[in-house]
Structure 1
Amino acid sequence: MPILLITGTGTEVGKTITTAAVAAVAVAAGRSVAVLKPAQTGVRPDERGDADEVARLAGAVTTRELARYPEPLAPGTAARRSGLPPVRPEQVAEAAAKLAVDHDLVLVEGAGGLLVRFDEAGGTLADAARLLDAPVLLVAAAGLGTLNTTELTARELQRRGLALTGVVIGSWPTEPDLASRCNLADLPVVAGAPLLGAVPAGAGAREPADFRAGAAGWLAPALGGEWDGEGFTAREAHRSGR
């Protein structure tokens, strides 16, 4: 799995922190890692972007952005309003392939969900995945409403012939409600792919050393970690008295 694309069921679901966790586990295993952010929006030139945050948390990773737009909008819209050139799927695929030559793992973090548009032609992260013939990791929310967006994304990946590696819950609450607890069992069913982790809420606020020490415990062995999905689901159900 030299190239892995990471998308979400929407915005603010924990893609960047999940990307950092995957990177941290890989770095700890001695792998060279690159993180590619095709389009960073809502950040000024002097501000830290998502790729910078991954590097801060994960450690020694190579980072690259293809474009940065000041307004917090979909990349295609942000590019149009700024007057700057848009990012196209072909550019994303080319950049990822070049990084893969010198790195064991390249993580490509999208913006928002799978079909968020990069350009006026409707190019998306899914198109980049097709060009690369690379698998996709889906980061989902924990609570009510996540089953619908997860299944829609999984179905679109399947329709396009793209491989869904699995689902990671990007922010697992300290006190999960009933919907969140039930979703531990339901998410892999609607996705047709395994649940591969649950990143605790607030993980991104930890000190980098603590983040790196904990990352393996949040991700399943398929992502290089040691998270036990069945055990986690059972413990959460028991804790909640269900």
Structure 2
Amino acid sequence: MYFFISVLAATEVIYMSAIHPRFLASIVSADKRISSMGCFVQMFVAGTSGTAESFLLAFMAIDRDLAINHPLRYSAIMTMTFCIGLAALPWIIAIFMILIESILIANLDFCGPNEIDNFYCDPPPLQALACSDTNIINVVIGLLNIIGCGVPFCIIIPAYVRIIMTITRIKSSVGKQKAFSTCSSHLIVASLFYITIGAVYVKPNGNPSKKYIALMFTIISPTLNPFIYTLKNKDVKEALRASKLLKKNLTFC
């Protein structure tokens, strides 16, 4: 569990680093310009890390499913080699998908206005600036978005159905609480991520209001995730209690 949380944290750091510096600079200064190369680099890095996070959340659901439904076999199945493979696979899939998307958008003809209706370089607003035909590209990118959001979502739903069914069969209330606390943080984080990202990318119709929804999964959600995982974690709570007791026992000499 901690291995996948650390990989998720590293993925979100990369994702936020691609968007936040330019976003904050445009707020602080009057300079809202970005080079065409910088725009495509930002789009590729943000898209790759965001897609990787989508698949990583799905694999984390599989990890929680195995931990709750197959606890005795968990250590034998989730070896370190297998965990590293599950952590690397989202990045391999994401790089392949976003590379196709970036090449398609880069080959468009941009001859009109150069003002992006968003706070970062996102594919739908960039496509809206193109003066060439984007019908085929829209279909291809739409399919890639459905794969990037829909496939992981279809992995998570059955995993949590099995988890909930197992939890309901536990007779002890303490056992139910322990089992639910194992996956509640991941469920909250995944819900925030897929609801907001699905609203923006599953049907990218260029609606200007979607950039406000994008604030949720680009800024708010990555900022809240460390607190969600930390405050719901038993080991962190015990460490905080121990630190409070230690402070109470300290005396000044």
TM-score (norm 2): 0.27
The structure number with the bigger radius of gyration is 2
TM-score (norm 1): 0.27
More strand by share: 1
More helix by share: 2
